[in-house]
Chain A
Amino acid sequence: MSFGLMRSALLRRTTAALLAGAALALTFAPAEAKTLRWARVGDALTLDPHSANEGPTSTLLHHVYETLVTRAVDGTLMPGLATEWNIDPLDPTVWVFKLREGVKFHDGAALTAEDVVASMERVRKETSDFKGLHSGVVGAEADGDYTVRIKMDGPSPLYVQNLTNFFIMDKDWIAANGVEMPQDRKNAEEKFTVRNANGTGPYKVTLRDPEVRTVLTYFDGHWDTKPDVTEIVYTPIKEAATRVAALLSGEVDFVQDVPVQDISRLLNTPGVAVTTGPENRSIFFGYDQGSDKLRSANTPDNPFKKPEVREAMALAMDRDAIMKVVMRGQSLPSGVAMPPFVNGWTPDLDAYPEPDYEKGKALLAEAGYPEGFSVDLNCPNDRYLNDEAICQAYVGMLGRIGIKANLVSQSRTLHFPLIQKFETDFYLLGWGVPTFDSAYVFDFLIHSPEGARGGWNATKYLNPEVDAMIKSLATEIDTNVRNSTVTKIWDQVQKDRVLLSVHNQLLAYATRDNIGIAVHPENQPKMTDVKFK
């Protein structure tokens, strides 16, 4: 108990010191170090910038390394290490980037075009997890110290959108540490880059204890204006209850992954603020409408092939009820499987019908299933906000029109392979759109499996006309033509009811109430944007 008393005495003293500090800060310029203690559910997997294409890893790395272009909180592209970029007017297959001058790496080396070329080479290596985003690249070359030309295998008007997680490393540092390749998981030797970093970012890594604590301190040589936060202590806290408790007890300042059920209570807690905003991710159901027979249905044919059945299923979904009951208000119900940030989104596409169970039943009867049918519904239980509960709710709604869905909910490590191997009849999936363009949705979810496309199209939707239109998007340079093709594809996709959209997820950040932070649509908040009030 004695240390308890000691601690509260210490707390009182610290509070007094903080108050004094705040008073000083009002009179003088804020010069003292300000620490932000940041907690979220998982740690970055590695410090290697090209080794894990995974949200939390990229989020942390954005503080240490920098990219040519960055994504603002409204989803638009902003200059990063590149100040200007354009397609070469003489050659539509070449992207030209003008680099920012006077940028330094943490070890003091200056950023030049050669560093970008070396990073481009590294990110395209066999063991890179980002190579899929750069598959159209033929090569990069430096044109003087501050211009980089990236040659593509064809016109690629959207390629710049793939660069928001392309981190730039120092060429000499790569060579000096022998880290030309990202980690190969078959090789038992650990790469230097897994726990060491040398970027141009606003913070340097001063301590890295994976899954325990990572400390980042402000890098004095950074080119941009000095942020409020000069030190970041990043702690993963896996258990939701503990994470919230750590915020309430004052042990952390910012909790990034707030459980939906705790939001309303946190809102009513003095000293704590909750900020919510839409995430660039939509949640939807898919069903196999291509096979002649389903694996799990009790019918000899495939009911999902019939348009009436698909319409009945859309009418059975009460999106508002899911929003109110399952999500406790923390979602944006939607009628199309793309978030509003995405190029191609319109309010008309996003409109959704009122549920109509009577009509749904009638449509089923019309399709030849007056008694309904039964089918398995595959659902993840550890990937999206309340994913399993969404499925449970929809199972109940389907029951009202006579479809008996048997819920099979399991971990994402079992769920996603079912979709990737096209071994599911009916499933829940969420899709984030990092390029903020419809083509990303079409390429993976709508196009039939072919090369890099169609890898997640477990609906087995096959429409050669749509496929051709999707392919044309990749190379079409005329924005107007391209946008009208996007509209045409969405109209066809909605008409064929390929995906049954549920909602877009909302993100919630909880902080101490003296901290201001905006929700980032890709859930990649930057601590340089944090303001102390």
Chain B
Amino acid sequence: MIAFILRRLVQSVLVMLVVSLVSFVMFRFVGDPIAAIVGQETSIADRETLREHLGLNDPVLMQFLGFIGRVVQGDFGISYRLQQPVMELILSRLPATLELALVSGVVAFVAGVALGVYTALNRRGVAAATIMSTSLIGVSLPTFLIGVLLIWVFAVELQWLPSFGRGETVTVGGWTTGFLTGSGRASLVLPVITLGLYQMTLIMRLVRAEMLEVLRTDYIKFARARGLSNRAVNFGHALKNTLVPVITIAGLQLGSIIAFAIITETVFQWPGVGALFINSVQFVDVPVMAAYLLLISFIFVVINLIVDLLYYVVDPRLRVDRASARH
């Protein structure tokens, strides 16, 4: 077990190194930071001096190694755009993204499982058919459009919910949270729906398909033959056995919710790391882009590791197989 974790940790570091190297190679296609940093009056000579000073003339590999060397010492540099230390900047934006992602993830998971079970058990019902067909909207409409539509209906027409921002936030031990204020919670509603809709429909469809499969198996028939109640059969046996793949997908989706909150954050002016990244790309803010991509790959790596470990815990067969293979 420990060897397994160690091996995965070494792999994780390698993955993160490769991600940063690839991102460094790609930065040159994003543009020239100098053009964004200085005003139009700056002379050619001054531009060149600044480029040299920031080390932008060095070969990509040198820039990459320099970056890794500083990161190891905990120095992520300073944002070209906002002139604030990069780590401080990202950490100040991270709570907004994590709160949004977590609430969306939970809502998507709970609603997705509930609706999935319902539609699987009531396959021929009118309600289930309606849910299934409307869920197509969730899968097929782009996030951007859903966000703008929600803003239009709930902020402009009905004026129930705010159209942008995070509302009032409270700082608890360095963590800014929107959970504790009314405007903070109201501000969460539309972005959570926008971000979670796709994940919810995905989980719902997955649960439904798995449930239908499991319900056809012999042990369910046997359980019914034993005279167990519907409730015990559906939830005690069927649902439990569908959850293994669902947890895997949900875990991996949490990573992508965090990583791809970019669009939702942009539409709702949500002050998270995704919006920060987009603004940084437009400014060619290399230090922020590099740190953000490193952070996202770190999150993915950690989530993958946890999911792997959960497999180990949840599915006894994995342990048995591995043990017997060793002998």
Contacts and interface: CB of A to CB of B under 8 A. Distances in A.
A418 B241 CA distance: 59
Nearest to A54: B39
Given A132-B41, A186-B54, A188-B75, A413 B30 contact: yes
Contact of B43 (A45, A53, A54, A451): A451
A308 interface: no
Contacts of B88: 190
Contacts of A1: 160
Interface string A178-202: 0000010111111100110000000
B156 A413 contact: no
Interface in B262-310: 266-269, 271, 275-276, 278-279, 282-284
Contact of A249 (B75, B163, B266): B163
Given A54-B39, A185-B78, A186-B53, A239 B31 contact: no
A20 interface: no
Nearest to A135: B43
Nearest to B70: A188
A72 B45 CA distance: 33
Given A194-B84, A245-B152, A8 B159 contact: yes
Q: Is the interface of A mostly helix, strand, loop or mixed?
A: loop
Which of the four size classes fits the interface of chain A? 35 or more
B186 interface: yes
Given A190-B85, A211-B275, A7 B159 contact: yes
Contacts of B152: 245
Interface residues of B, number: 61
Interface in B238-277: 266-269, 271, 275-276
A413 B42 contact: no
Contacts of B164: 235, 237, 242, 245-246, 251
Contacts of B161: 4
A374 to B, nearest CB: 25
B324 interface: no
Contacts of A130: 39
Interface string A47-76: 010011110000000000000000000000
A248 B158 CA distance: 11
B165 interface: yes
18 contacts: A45-B83, A46-B83, A132-B42, A132-B46, A185-B80, A211-B271, A212-B166, A235-B165, A241-B267, A242-B269, A245-B148, A245-B156, A249-B159, A413-B35, A417-B35, A444-B40, A455-B43, A455-B44
Interface of A: 1, 3-4, 7-8, 11, 42, 45-46, 48, 51-54, 129-133, 135, 183, 185-191, 194-195, 209-213, 235-239, 241-242, 245-246, 248-251, 382, 411-414, 416-417, 420, 444, 449, 451-452, 455-456
